[in-house]
Structure 1
Amino acid sequence: MHDIIYVDSSDDWHSGETTMDDEGSYPIGDSIDNECDEEEGYLESNNDDDTTSHGEKNYTVLSEDDIRRRQEKDILEVSSVLSIPKFEASILLHHYNWSISNLHDAWFADEEKVRMTIGLSKKPVIEYPNAKKLTCAICFDTYWRHRMHAAACGHLFCSSCWGSYISTSINDGPGCLMLRCPDPSCGAAVSQEMINALVSDEAKEKYARYLLRSYVEASRKSKWCPAPGCGYAIDFVLGSGSYDVSCKCTNSFCWNCTEEVHRPVECDIVSKWMLKNTAESENTTWILANSKPCPKCKRPIEKRDGCMHMTCTPPCRFEFCWLCLGSWLDHGDKTGGFYACNRYEKAKKEGVYDEAETRRAMAKSSLERYAHYYERWEYNEKSKVKAMKYLQELQTVHVEKLSNDYCQSKFQLKFIVDAWLQIIECRRVLKWTYAYGYYLLEHDETKGQFFEYLQGEAESGLERLNIFADEDLKPFIDGKFKSKDPNCAEGDLKTIIDGKSKSEDPNCAEEDLKPIIDETPKIEDFNAFRAKLSDLTTVTRKYFENLVRALENGLTDVDSVGACNKPGNSKASAAVKSWRGRSGATSRSSIFGRSQEEQAPSLPQTHHGRQTQQQQQQQQGSWSCEHCTYFNQESPTICYICNQHRGSWSCELCTYFNSTSTTICQMCNGER
């Protein structure tokens, strides 16, 4: 596992002065830790992948016990250095936001001023006679001296009044951490020892929790995990790059804005998008686009069906024409009948309704555009939640069954969990690409086209992984494979198809006539499933990593190829080609992130060397898919990853992949 960064002192932890020298590179998705124990930790998502360029995490997850130990260490240090009781050190640190350096600076500059400000007097401001009985200044009852209590100031009150005063303050919230003497003229601080001696266990626990939370909330570089019920905090290395962090509760979020992890979009875009999803402005836009105001009372009215005769609701009850908004009393045969309005047509030609119609059309267009992005954003969110539920079921039920059925250790089955973790991560990334497209690409048509291509490829690759991880896993969980009966004799294949026997139907293959039977999956089938699912997980992860980098860089591929387009080619088409693969000194990279160096033996990086590599691959029967650039080793005609036919060609105008049997693009009718 990666090493954890621990700061040198808790003071630095609160001051936020610890920084990293280099910004790191942060991968999307979860990788397999090969050093994990085979039986332990296999089900946990590898949430520690947010690392710096040196392979170290840029954050540390702290439990409440970790925080309590750090807090106690700071209190002891201040108590020892300043030679003061622990309760005074705690009050001082809380006042200075738990920064030891700030406290030392103020204390050694003017100790008396600090004591006066915080309410830590060295001696009581009032002394009572050595009487056996005293009167409480709150309830005015007389008590024995041992039942009276005072803060450092010396103002005595009875135990009951003190308890009520402290309990009420604790119930009011974290302000109890700055509790002062009940005497209105006194500002003496009340110690935690005194609080613990006078209140119930429940109140003591609540006070201790407020004190613990203040230690985190006062720090510039620590935050509580926002997941409901989570008690972990994140200690972050400021200036170290990505804000993506993962808590031990499995919740991943952005440390900067505490929303869920949202790469590739920035925090301000996330804030605007979430506000838009809940804002009243969208209701106003919908009303403007789909309704018209009553000419009399101005109440918005939506027309769903029927004729143009509209009647406003009580108490208005005004009857008017939907088209021209004129009184219905002025309508009839002379205005074109009940289903038309020549007044409206005439006024429209004269430009009377131009402004209103334009505003309505713009509002409708804006609403439709927002609905397009929001519906897909929400779909991927729901799909992510569904995948998370299935992953939980997989971890608690199915993995145990698969382990028993196929004699596999739980660690050996981690590839299934990794695939579903990758699906969840990809759903999250894909979800936020819609917010990216809505805000950042509205006025850039070229980048918009390129973005839609990349997004479409991402959706296609993710769906392929999702379907395979779901449907192809079910036979192994159920213990049943659907297959053709190999024992079916040739004489039994004379099945009637559309009234014809096999011999009468030339399009009927013998294999198609064999009945479907249930067959128990073999270990060889499971190993083949493992290999393909692992490959799909890898290529999908790499594609999404490349997609995130491209979007974070502002789709610079479009700008970089804009000046060198061929006549008739759009910038978007050229950018697509640049994205799908580049020739020359660098290796051709797969759009799924798999390069030929990773799939074939490495050769010297020379033109002659690459020719030799291609010749060797052709001699071995392997070929590179034109669609995803995966180097296939087995299938002679169908790509193992994307299922495209061998030799398909991409249209230069629309990038659609066509079969080799045609020279005309099936999408845009452009010639090859």
Structure 2
Amino acid sequence: MRYGANALRISRTLPTVPAVSAAKAEIGICGSGMPHAMSSDDEFSLEDSENDASDFESETENLETEDQDEEVVRVLTYSDIREIMKSKIEEVREILEVTSGVCRVLLQKYKWDKTTLLEKFYEDPNFIVNSKISLTMRTDSSDSSSDGECDICCDTAPLLGLSCDHTACIECWRAYLTEKINEKKCEIQCMSSDCKLIIDDDKIHEYLSSETTVISAFQQLTVDEYVETNHFLTQCSCGMVLESSRSDAHLVVCSCGTRFCFSCGNDSHEPVNCRLLKLWEKKCVGVKDKAGADGYSSDKETFNWILSNTKDCPKCVTSIEKNGGCNRITCRSKTCRFEFCWLFNEKDEKNRVDSRAELHRFLFFYNRFKSHEQSFKLEKKLVKTVNVKMDEMQKKGMGWADVLFLRKSVDILSECRRTLMFTYIFAFYLERNNQAIMFDGNQKDLEMAVEQLSGLLEQEMETNDLRVLIQKTQDKSRYVEYRRKVLLDHCTEGMEQDAWVYNA
């Protein structure tokens, strides 16, 4: 693993985060879950970064380019995807010798895997028939004039049907198909309840020829299904579809500017993988629900009060407060009412202590995650402050390109703060080993750098010495971006080499 100077830096006394503001004062905690005291040796300055210049200056020159390379995706419109689908359908149609509508249904059945579809076709001489897809459109064979009594509405009208011999009038077909499309179904079976024959696209277009809005909705559904089954496509909230060369979890950026995880669709959550993020969200909901069920809110003070003043019912695990001298307690839950002694036996007490210790550990990481989340939201306001400063600098004769670094510094701070938030989820599930110790060091270095940049942008925007402001902001922005890269590179290398062990 190429950790370079980062591995050496961990051997020194690890720095804590300087308290930039009251809202952020509690963040100076290491990822291992143990608080550490602050000292003058822990302070970070530009002189410290100069000592590391040989480690990161050459790499920071390529940071922006590397980030862009990781985020390169092809943005597709609805029309683009329709053309891709048509091309794939045409390739199969020439071999299967069936209509395009039947090909679309078959490809959808096999998740648009052309190879698997053709293998099945060559293996089974009756593959098309056995696929149970309507192949022809016909009039009622019992009456050459096509008139008859509709089995659905009982009116006399021309009857239309499928190869399964189930018929209905055109109005009933339209009503049925419209209902199914409104239910978001693009694989629609015959109207007869005991028939599994699938109606192909050509027949759906034929029956709905006068319903252009419904046909458009059906076409949109087929596109959505295609995107859903393609592991290399994902949809942005703006409606655009992004195509990537990778199907794993990674950050992508849409043309609208939205950044999100390609795999799960959530906001960027590096370095946490999608599975751990989902477990964390469930755990947060569970703890909040537990507090809410007991009549409490879910803030830090409430959690700490519950830990100190309550015990869990041995039967239903509801938190119970002892507000009298008697040790015989009745659970206050109406559905439980279990009676027990407040002085648990040794085994019950051990389980209680273990349970509370786990909750206490969770709250440690939860509170730090929420603190950084709060800072992340508050720092969005810096955009307005920075814009004012940029206008001021331009009025003093500086060009747009010369002042744009301030805007970029805010963007860097936002991205690094977001990463820092999710490092606490990553650390919560991480088993303690040498790699975890290295991660703690990287986390604290990033945390320290982020707080320094945040403090600079919050406190020094009023300075009149623009040259000093430019130099400080550029130096700190480069360094915090470098620390983020070091941390994420370490996480990526650990994943590639199976070095991370999770307690989940």
TM normalised by structure 1 equals 0.53
Which consecutive unaligned segments of at least 5 residues does structure 2 have?
1-58, 295-302, 334-340, 500-504
**Equivalent of residue 416 in structure 2, options 426, 429, 436:** 426
1:37-71 Cα offsets, whole Å, 9 max, x none, are xxxxxxxxx973416xxxxx4x4343333322212
Match of residue 70 from structure 2: 50
**Equivalent of residue 465 in structure 1, options 453, 476, 493:** 453
Listed as ranges, the matches of 1:82-121 within 5 Å are 82-110=96-124, 112-121=126-135
Match of residue 230 from structure 1: 238
The Cα of 1:411 is off from its aligned counterpart by 4.6
The Cα of 1:458 is off from its aligned counterpart by 2.1
User: Secondary structure of the equivalent of 2:255?
Assistant: coil
**Equivalent of residue 212 in structure 1, options 217, 223, 233:** 223
Match of residue 78 from structure 1: 92
| Residues 283 and 80 of structure 1: CA distance in aligned 2, closer, same or farther (over 3 Å) | same
Match of residue 533 from structure 1: 473
Matched residues in 2 for 1:437 and 1:373: separation?
A: 8
The answer (yes or no) to whether the contact 1:30–1:418 under 8 Å persists in 2 is no
Listed as ranges, the matches of 1:77-226 within 5 Å are 77-80=91-94, 82-110=96-124, 112-122=126-136, 124=138, 127-131=141-145, 133-143=147-157, 145=158, 148-151=159-162, 155-174=166-185, 176-182=186-192, 184-185=194-195, 187=197, 189-190=199-200, 191-199=203-211, 201=213, 203-225=214-236
Matched residues in 2 for 1:296 and 1:125: separation?
A: 68
The answer (yes or no) to whether the contact 1:123–1:153 under 8 Å persists in 2 is no
| Residues 310 and 183 of structure 1: CA distance in aligned 2, closer, same or farther (over 3 Å) | closer
Matched residues in 2 for 1:274 and 1:297: separation?
A: 23
Matched residues in 1 for 2:103 and 2:313: separation?
A: 70
State which drifts further: 398-407 or 154-163. 398-407
**Equivalent of residue 277 in structure 1, options 284, 295, 298:** 284
Matched residues in 2 for 1:362 and 1:261: separation?
A: 33
| Residues 138 and 466 of structure 1: CA distance in aligned 2, closer, same or farther (over 3 Å) | same
TM normalised by structure 2 equals 0.68
Please say if 1:456 is aligned against 2:444. yes
Matched residues in 2 for 1:222 and 1:298: separation?
A: 44
| Residues 109 and 101 of structure 1: CA distance in aligned 2, closer, same or farther (over 3 Å) | same
The answer (yes or no) to whether the contact 1:264–1:549 under 8 Å persists in 2 is no
The Cα of 1:141 is off from its aligned counterpart by 0.8
Listed as ranges, the matches of 1:238-257 within 5 Å are 238=246, 243-257=250-264
User: Secondary structure of the equivalent of 1:417?
Assistant: helix
The Cα of 1:407 is off from its aligned counterpart by 5.3
The answer (yes or no) to whether the contact 2:133–2:197 under 8 Å persists in 1 is yes
Matched residues in 2 for 1:78 and 1:535: separation?
A: 57
Using CA pairs below 8 Å that are at least 6 residues apart, which structure has the higher relative contact order?
2
> Identity of aligned pairs, percent?
22
Matched residues in 1 for 2:316 and 2:100: separation?
A: 71
Which consecutive unaligned segments of at least 5 residues does structure 1 have?
1-26, 34-45, 52-56, 317-323, 326-343, 345-351, 476-480, 482-520, 560-672
1:495-552 Cα offsets, whole Å, 9 max, x none, are xxxxxxxxxxxxxxxxxxxxxxxxxx5xxx4344233212211111112212233455
User: Secondary structure of the equivalent of 2:116?
Assistant: helix
Matched residues in 2 for 1:537 and 1:297: separation?
A: 51
Match of residue 339 from structure 1: none
User: Secondary structure of the equivalent of 1:301?
Assistant: strand
Q: Whose Rg is larger?
A: 1
| Structure 1 counterpart of 2:197, one-letter code | G
The answer (yes or no) to whether the contact 2:189–2:195 under 8 Å persists in 1 is no
The answer (yes or no) to whether the contact 1:98–1:215 under 8 Å persists in 2 is yes
Listed as ranges, the matches of 1:261-340 within 5 Å are 261-279=268-286, 283=290, 290-292=309-311, 300-303=319-322, 308=325, 325=342
User: Secondary structure of the equivalent of 1:279?
Assistant: helix
Match of residue 297 from structure 2: none
Matched residues in 1 for 2:221 and 2:418: separation?
A: 34
| Residues 461 and 154 of structure 1: CA distance in aligned 2, closer, same or farther (over 3 Å) | same
1:434-471 Cα offsets, whole Å, 9 max, x none, are 12322224x55x77766555433322211111122233
User: Secondary structure of the equivalent of 1:48?
Assistant: helix
The answer (yes or no) to whether the contact 2:140–2:160 under 8 Å persists in 1 is no
The answer (yes or no) to whether the contact 2:152–2:168 under 8 Å persists in 1 is yes
The Cα of 1:257 is off from its aligned counterpart by 4.3
The answer (yes or no) to whether the contact 1:134–1:142 under 8 Å persists in 2 is yes
User: Secondary structure of the equivalent of 1:253?
Assistant: strand
Report how many aligned residue pairs link the two structures: 418
User: Secondary structure of the equivalent of 1:220?
Assistant: coil
| Residues 423 and 185 of structure 1: CA distance in aligned 2, closer, same or farther (over 3 Å) | closer
Please say if 1:378 is aligned against 2:370. yes
Matched residues in 1 for 2:143 and 2:60: separation?
A: 73
CA RMSD of aligned residues (A): 4.4
| Residues 93 and 65 of structure 1: CA distance in aligned 2, closer, same or farther (over 3 Å) | same
User: Secondary structure of the equivalent of 2:242?
Assistant: strand
| Residues 63 and 407 of structure 1: CA distance in aligned 2, closer, same or farther (over 3 Å) | farther
User: Secondary structure of the equivalent of 1:431?
Assistant: helix
Matched residues in 1 for 2:252 and 2:124: separation?
A: 41
The answer (yes or no) to whether the contact 2:309–2:321 under 8 Å persists in 1 is yes
Matched residues in 2 for 1:186 and 1:272: separation?
A: 39
The Cα of 1:373 is off from its aligned counterpart by 1.0
Matched residues in 2 for 1:464 and 1:428: separation?
A: 15
Matched residues in 2 for 1:261 and 1:298: separation?
A: 35
User: Secondary structure of the equivalent of 1:435?
Assistant: helix
Please say if 1:62 is aligned against 2:76. yes
User: Secondary structure of the equivalent of 2:354?
Assistant: helix
| Residues 206 and 471 of structure 1: CA distance in aligned 2, closer, same or farther (over 3 Å) | farther
The answer (yes or no) to whether the contact 1:289–1:360 under 8 Å persists in 2 is no
User: Secondary structure of the equivalent of 1:157?
Assistant: strand
The answer (yes or no) to whether the contact 1:149–1:159 under 8 Å persists in 2 is yes
User: Secondary structure of the equivalent of 2:269?
Assistant: coil
